Structure 1
Amino acid sequence: MKTCVAIRHVAFEDLGSFQAPLEAAGYSIRYVEAGLDDISALEAQTVDLLVVLGGPIGAYDDGDYPFLRDELRLIEARLRAGRPVIGICLGAQVMARALGARVYPNGGVKEIGWSALDLTEAGRASPLAALTGTPVLHWHGDTFDLPEGATLLASTPITRHQAFSWGRAGLGLQFHVEATRIGLERWFIGHAGEIGATPGLSVAGLRAATGQYAAGLEAQAPKVLSAFLSDMM
């Protein structure tokens, strides 16, 4: 059986709509809990797929969260070996940093809510083609420079570097492709402080937009995953 390890930083940011198609594709899924489990014990070559999930910390906060150094080493080793890695939000930022790029606050602006992506020409020929015209969930205040050798796949007016590929092995997604309507109810609790402190945001508004857009994303996200996995075969 193929193996997928998902590094999870907070309990409510999980594989979401990726979980069922991964299981259907024959993957055995194991969560590794950042801050609790020993990420340094993971062997870069022994896992078929690594997914690095989101979280409310910065990819540059390894002084406070030293497990990030283990994530950086693991991701770099896998990508250099051509082993598949998907990074989502914080995961994409850690991927970018592992490839030598800078990660930093996005000009004091938070991009939280639903909007469609502007796909590049490369993006339209990538697994992200399935997201053409589909609003996705954004929930971040940091951004990153495009790593050397990476290909830009998508942008938004607020965040130029929304997605990149690195060869066939790496897919970094600043946005949340995996988000589901029911799963986001846990986000609205877990991120209550951030929602309340961000002007113009409210749980009611986010819930209404989620009700409008989440089903479309849930239908398209497995196609993104399937196309990425097919490219790796």
Structure 2
Amino acid sequence: MSSPTALVLRHDVGIGLGNVAATLTSRGYVVTTLDTPTADLAEVDPLAWDVVIALGGAEGAYETDLHPHLAREIELLTARAAARRPILGICLGAQMLAVALGARAWRGPVHEVGFLPLAVTEAGTAGPVRHVIGVPMMQWHHDTFDLPDGVDLLATSASYPQAYAIGSWLLAVQFHPEVDEAIVDGWIERWQHEVTDVPGASAAELLAAKDTHLDAAQAASRALVGEWLDGLARSGPDRGGVAPAHASSGRLRS
């Protein structure tokens, strides 16, 4: 019997799997990461993996002319969503999923940066997103998306939708469950100069917020992602879940 597999679509080495990695490995997943700006996505079979995780990035999901790899990723996500195979989208990943589901991603009027509270909807309280209730979660984005038809809205911020789902197989979050200390420190070092106009987003304020909120955010993230993965295992492949451990062996197209 082989282990379940996860394909991670990464757009920047500084925006990696982070806190989510241990949650996957604790459940036996073998993780493969593709750096999508340089990978040959035409060689990737979108259905060969038990789970696909699309991470964040500095690109906009609407910038496919400027970043052609995004168009190929959206095609991959569209094919996978049509087959109802498990997908987790984070930040840019959530925006690309919205586009794959027929909605619009766009640059919003508000730049959300830092550990910010979320309002969890009634639908959100019934599933894994409930773990972020009362826990400020890391945000770092200006872009947003229109909610696709047929999804359940799970959480919002003061300005934007923050989480949505379809059944147990698709989960998209605008906030960042993957952040750990190294990721947050790296973002502050690389990008704090871009958000000097955002209240509470000075380097000193972000570092203080990290000290206050990161441990709780990581715990909530582990619970959220872990419960989602466990739900996939229970639902089974016929309902868009993870197949038994012997079922997935493919990786790339031959």
TM-score bracket, normalised by the shorter chain, equals over 0.9
Is 1:120 paired with 2:121? Answer: yes
Is 1:103 paired with 2:93? Answer: no
How far apart, in 1, do the equivalents of 2:117 and 2:199 lie? Answer: 21
How far apart, in 1, do the equivalents of 2:194 and 2:41 lie? Answer: 28
Q: Could you tell me which residue of structure 2 aligns to residue 163 of structure 1?
A: 163
- Aligned-pair distance for 1:199? 6.2
Query: Which one-letter code corresponds to 2:153 in the other structure?
Result: L
Unaligned runs of 5+ in 1: none
Q: Could you tell me which residue of structure 2 aligns to residue 137 of structure 1?
A: 138
Q: Deviations over 1:181-230 (max 9, x none)?
A: 23211111222442346565311111110110000011121111111112
How far apart, in 1, do the equivalents of 2:13 and 2:192 lie? Answer: 15
List aligned pairs for 1:169-180, cutoff 5 A. Answer: 169-180=169-180
Tell me the secondary structure at the aligned position of residue 140 of structure 2.
strand
Q: Deviations over 1:58-93 (max 9, x none)?
A: 000000100111111111111111111100000000
How far apart, in 2, do the equivalents of 1:58 and 1:183 lie? Answer: 20
Q: Could you tell me which residue of structure 2 aligns to residue 48 of structure 1?
A: 50
Tell me the secondary structure at the aligned position of residue 159 of structure 2.
coil
Aligned length: 231
How far apart, in 2, do the equivalents of 1:219 and 1:11 lie? Answer: 23
Runs ≥4 residues deviating over 4 A: 196-200
Tell me the secondary structure at the aligned position of residue 12 of structure 1.
coil
Tell me the secondary structure at the aligned position of residue 96 of structure 1.
helix
Tell me the secondary structure at the aligned position of residue 137 of structure 1.
strand
Query: Which one-letter code corresponds to 1:132 in the other structure?
Result: I
Tell me the secondary structure at the aligned position of residue 176 of structure 1.
coil
Contact 1:179/1:218, CA 8 A, preserved across alignment: yes
* Identity within the alignment, %: 35
Q: Could you tell me which residue of structure 2 aligns to residue 204 of structure 1?
A: 204
TM-score (norm 2): 0.87
Contact 2:113/2:198, CA 8 A, preserved across alignment: no
CA-atom RMSD in angstroms: 1.4
Contact 1:12/1:190, CA 8 A, preserved across alignment: no
Query: Which one-letter code corresponds to 2:194 in the other structure?
Result: E
Query: Which one-letter code corresponds to 1:13 in the other structure?
Result: I
Unaligned runs of 5+ in 2: 234-254
